[in-house]
């Protein structure tokens, strides 16, 4: 009886194994994006070019800097913190692609932004504007260090945001 059970269970295992062999081969993954190119090097070069240099980082940073300001005006501290975090992220990603800019941003990243973080936590609007001015100065310090002093950041005057809060 035990032998019979063993035989049946072996047959069952064999049956299952054969069934799985019968399955059609997993569909071949296909992808296509003409602009990427053909060779590995072309793909790398074209992807790099699409990410662009540090100016791409700065256009994002500039938008978020302004949103941060108006969030402080509205005392929407959650939105202010959201923008602060995204500024950090944008800069960090920028440094991965363009590490030569990181050293000049030390004041901005390690002093001004952490100070803003604390102020946002304390929800103190007066202090927020004081710290925001300091942050603005560190934008310009970096621009001077990076030979783009002609890009002078001033406090936002006009509200361009599309977000209602």
- Residues 81 and 117 sit within 8 Å (Cβ to Cβ): yes
The radius of gyration of the chain from alpha carbons, rounded to an integer in Å, stands at 28
Closest distance between ligand HEC and the C-beta of residue 111, in Å?
A: 11
How far apart are alpha carbons 141 and 148 in whole angstroms? 10
Q: Which CB atom, from 119 or from 139, has the smaller least distance to ligand HEC? A: 139
Cβ contacts of residue 145 below 8 Å, gap of 6+?
104
Q: Measured in Å, how far apart are the chain's first and last C-alpha atoms?
A: 77
Q: Which CB atom, from 43 or from 151, has the smaller least distance to ligand HEC? A: 151
Whole-Å CA distances, 95 to 22, 54, 71, 135, 146: 51, 8, 26, 19, 14
Closest distance between ligand HEC and the C-beta of residue 138, in Å?
A: 6
Q: Which CB atom, from 9 or from 59, has the smaller least distance to ligand HEC? A: 59
Closest distance between ligand HEC and the C-beta of residue 20, in Å?
A: 55
Q: Which CB atom, from 36 or from 145, has the smaller least distance to ligand HEC? A: 145
**Binding interface with ligand HEC (CB under 6 A):** 53-55, 58-59, 61-62, 65, 101, 104-105, 108, 139, 142-143, 146, 148, 151, 153
Q: Which CB atom, from 61 or from 131, has the smaller least distance to ligand HEC? A: 61
Closest distance between ligand HEC and the C-beta of residue 48, in Å?
A: 14
Closest distance between ligand HEC and the C-beta of residue 46, in Å?
A: 19
How far apart are alpha carbons 103 and 4 in whole angstroms? 76
């Amino acid at each position: 009886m035990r032998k019979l059970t063993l035989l049946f269970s072996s047959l069952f295992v064999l049956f299952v194994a054969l069934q799985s062999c019968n399955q059609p081969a997993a569909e071949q993954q296909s992808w296509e994006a003409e602009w990427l190119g053909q060779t590995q090097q072309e793909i790398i070069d074209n992807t790099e070019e699409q990410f662009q240099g540090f100016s791409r980082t700065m256009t994002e940073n500039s938008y978020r800097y302004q949103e941060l300001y108006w969030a402080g005006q509205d005392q929407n501290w959650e939105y202010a913190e959201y923008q602060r975090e995204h500024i950090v992220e944008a800069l960090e990603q920028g440094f991965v692609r363009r590490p030569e800019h990181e050293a000049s941003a030390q004041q901005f990243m390690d002093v001004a932004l952490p100070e803003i973080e604390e102020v946002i936590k304390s929800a103190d609007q007066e202090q927020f504007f004081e710290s925001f001015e300091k942050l603005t100065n560190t934008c310009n310090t970096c621009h001077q260090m990076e030979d783009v002093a002609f890009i002078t950041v001033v406090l936002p005057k006009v509200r361009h945001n599309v977000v209602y809060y």
